[in-house]
Structure 1
Amino acid sequence: MSLNSLFRAALLSLAASLAVPALADAGRGYDFGKPAKAEQATRTVEITLGDMYFEPKSVQVKAGETVRFVIHNNGKLLHEFNLGSAAMHAEHQKEMQHMQEMGMLSPTGMQHDMSQMGQMAGMDHSQMNMKHDDPNSVLIEPGKSAELTWTFSKATGLEFACNIPGHYQAGMVGKLNVDS
């Protein structure tokens, strides 16, 4: 088997493994709430991301509240703001690791067009179903800002975290308590 054939097979295998979770998540709801429009927010919370920290380190919200998070990346690295449970973050970290291995993520940015990589392996863009488009998550490049608005449905303990490989483990995680 030629090196080109091995490369093509490896890319097809990885694309297939990533496409299944992406399709499964597309219609998935979140038991802790749902995305909302910024104009529905009853409160805005500013979050600053530095290299390996969040400020503030914890946020209190109420069940039923719609919160607009305005996230500023003041660090020199690409970071993520992701709402979820510790188990959800562990699963998402695996997806982010795959994205990094495929060259979609660099230390400071994200490759938005994977079609060139797929064309190198004889695949069309639709076969490269790798995206970072979960409604509970945003990627923020250095010096940039992003927003995420969420309506919290029930009292629970959550985390906001950066799931870029190694960042969560370095302490880039905060507490999000949803009170009744």
Structure 2
Amino acid sequence: MKRFLVVFLLLTFALILVGCGQTTSTSKGQTVNVTLSEFKIETSVSAFQPGTAYQFSVTNTGKTDHEFMILPSSQGNMSGMSMDEMDKMALASIGTIHLGETKTLEYTFPSSTAGTQPEFACYLPGHYEAGMKQDVHIRQ
């Protein structure tokens, strides 16, 4: 009976982890699943801990190419800026992600970002304006 209870508790715990398994830890850091589509960004995590390593697994499920940028805060419409200027502002980014493609990005939010609200965004022409942005939060 005792053995059954231990097995039952372990299986229950494993199922809970699988059910909540949007975020996992790997040797490269905590995995964050990000989905890009027309025209939105969905993420399995929206609050991050400074100093923690994250591995962003970014998948384009849309019908067109997208990109993934982590910006220090909402930058609004930057349509007049060059990609080089935008890249300099970004905390981290992945260039073109073709439809059906998944790319990864390893990033650790520095302690200087504690308490801020960065933004995930796609700045391909017209995408940001169509809603491809997602506010996130860095814990203090």
TM range (shorter): 0.5 to 0.7
Determine helix, strand or coil for the equivalent of 2:41: strand
- 2:10 counterpart of 1:50: no
Query: Following TM superposition, by how much is the alpha carbon of 1:135 offset from its aligned partner in structure 2, in angstroms?
Result: 7.2
CA deviation string 1:118-148 (max 9, x = no partner): xxxxxxxxxxxxxx79771112011101011
**Residue 167 (structure 1) aligns with:** 127
Determine helix, strand or coil for the equivalent of 2:81: helix
Unaligned 5+ runs, structure 2: 1-25
Judge conservation of contact 2:77–2:129 (CA < 8 Å) in 1: no
Structure with the higher strand share, 1 or 2: 2
**Residue 66 (structure 2) aligns with:** 79
Query: Following TM superposition, by how much is the alpha carbon of 1:86 offset from its aligned partner in structure 2, in angstroms?
Result: 2.1
Give the Cα–Cα distance (whole angstroms) in 2 for the partners of residues 40 and 72 of structure 1: 18
Give the Cα–Cα distance (whole angstroms) in 1 for the partners of residues 91 and 43 of structure 2: 22
User: If the length of structure 2 is used for normalisation, what is the TM-score?
Assistant: 0.66
Cα distance change, pair 49–168 in 1 and its aligned pair in 2 (3 A): same
Judge conservation of contact 1:48–1:54 (CA < 8 Å) in 2: yes
Give the Cα–Cα distance (whole angstroms) in 1 for the partners of residues 121 and 44 of structure 2: 10
Higher relative contact order (CA 8 A, sep 6+): 1
Unaligned 5+ runs, structure 1: 1-37, 100-131
Count of residues in correspondence between the two structures = 107
1:1-150 equivalences in 2 (<5 Å)? 39-41=27-29, 43-56=30-43, 59-84=46-71, 85-87=73-75, 90-91=77-78, 94-96=81-83, 136-138=92-94, 139-150=96-107
Q: CA RMSD in A?
A: 2.7
User: If the length of structure 1 is used for normalisation, what is the TM-score?
Assistant: 0.52
Determine helix, strand or coil for the equivalent of 1:75: coil
